[in-house]
Amino acid sequence: MTQHSAAAGKKALIIGAGTAGMASAITLSRIGVKIDLIDINPNWGALGAGLTITGPTLRALKQLGVYDEVTEQAYVGDGIQVCDPAGNPLRILPTPMLDGADTAGSGGIMRPTMHSIMHKYVKDAGIQMRLGLTADAFEQDENGVTVTFSDGSQGYYDFVLGSDGVLSKTRQLLFPDAPKAEYTGQSCWRLFLKRPASIERRTYFLGGPVKVGFTPVSKDHMYMFLLERCPQRWQEPEDNYKNLKQLLEGYDGILAEIRESLSEADNPNINFRPLECFDLPGPWYVGKVLLIGDSAHPTTPQLASGAGMGIEDALVLAEIFEKQANVDLAFAEFMQRREHRCRLVTQSSMEIGRLEQQRAPVEQQTAVVEKALNILKEAI
């Protein structure tokens, strides 16, 4: 991509400095688009333990130009080890990539590490982030969008991207009658741990009362995730380790070792989050304001593809704008290229979640995973 593009000289506002927002800032600035990037959080930064990165996500990171930095600080490998509740290996699920692919098929990284890498590229592009700021109103004309910000200031842009997440204010402004995020019936526990030598790749423990797994995130560390079927609730942080210990009852091997080691000292490292999702009908834009990433197509973590889909959105947008200066036509092409693929991820993830809650046979659950991964391996 070069600055001799159809969209060179255009000015864009990106609302939300998460993975999709920063990726879009990087890709669009490379083709000569002038970027303003804002985020609602005055203390902006990434929270959370770890992030699973699939082969297609690693490919997207390669296209973004950050693959080497990611692989230096992350875990990368191939395959997903499937075990029974006792920890006995059952099979290795393939993580397929296209023939000749020059990236690994799977990986994991600490979320703050990923954000730090991407933020460096944002700064290197000369993009300044304005924090503690939201977009409160849009007024569109045939040439662009006047945005009124929460501090009372205004700006005029050729187009606007809403990448402000599952609870997107941009989406509420564009689509006031859009479906609201709904609880899926599952909540996710995460715990950051030392990585034993026996955990060589992503690992699932299936067939027990809950789904448990490990994702290595570096040479020395991993995070454990556990999906609990439960009514939506507030989890008291001081009870984290007790509840997690109880949920691991009935598991043997390394999970039994973790269960026995849990103590009150682990509470700060345990994260509990109810899983919410919605299905937003297309198109994901009104005029010259487009939703991307979790603002448009949030997904539950079963396929570990949420971040990857946001990065792919950014890559596709820049590819389109490099050749197409007309914003309306560019957004229409974006929907043609992205809606089906993103919906595959959201719907497959929801289906896997339903099967997990039904305690469906392991083979039935893994079949959905394999089918989706085989489709996602295709180039965007």
Walk along the chain (380 residues) and give the pLDDT tens digit of each residue. 455 799 999 999 999 999 999 999 999 999 999 999 999 999 887 666 688 999 999 999 999 999 999 999 999 999 999 999 999 999 999 998 887 888 889 999 998 999 999 999 999 999 989 999 999 999 999 999 999 999 999 999 999 999 999 999 999 999 999 998 899 999 999 999 999 999 999 999 998 989 999 999 999 999 999 999 999 988 888 899 999 999 999 999 999 999 999 999 999 889 999 999 999 999 999 999 999 999 999 999 999 899 999 999 999 999 999 999 999 999 999 999 999 999 999 999 999 999 999 999 989 999 999 999 899 988 88
Q: Is residue 211 part of a domain?
A: no
Q: Is residue 261 part of a domain?
A: no
Q: Is residue 41 part of a domain?
A: yes
**Is the separation of the CB atoms in 55 and 97 below 8 Å?**
yes
**Is the separation of the CB atoms in 193 and 170 below 8 Å?**
no
Q: Is residue 195 part of a domain?
A: no
Q: Is residue 220 part of a domain?
A: no
Q: Is residue 354 part of a domain?
A: yes
- Of 227, 258, 197, 211, nearest to 365 by C-alpha is 211
Q: Distance between CA 148 and CA 154 in Å, rounded?
A: 5
| pLDDT score for 48 | 66
Question: Does the pTM of the predicted model rise above 0.75?
Answer: yes
Q: How many CB atoms lie within 10 A of CB 179?
A: 12
| pLDDT score for 2 | 53
**Is the separation of the CB atoms in 160 and 285 below 8 Å?**
no
| pLDDT score for 47 | 67
Rounded (5°) CA angle 173-146-290: 50
Q: Is residue 236 part of a domain?
A: no
CATH code, domain carrying 23: 3.50.50.60
Q: Distance between CA 160 and CA 169 in Å, rounded?
A: 13
Number of domains in the chain: 1
Q: State whether the Cα torsion 224-22-297-303 is positive or negative.
A: negative
DSSP conformation class of 184? E
Q: Is residue 228 part of a domain?
A: no
Beta bridge partners of 148: 137, 154
Q: Which domain holds residue 324?
A: 11-180+278-376
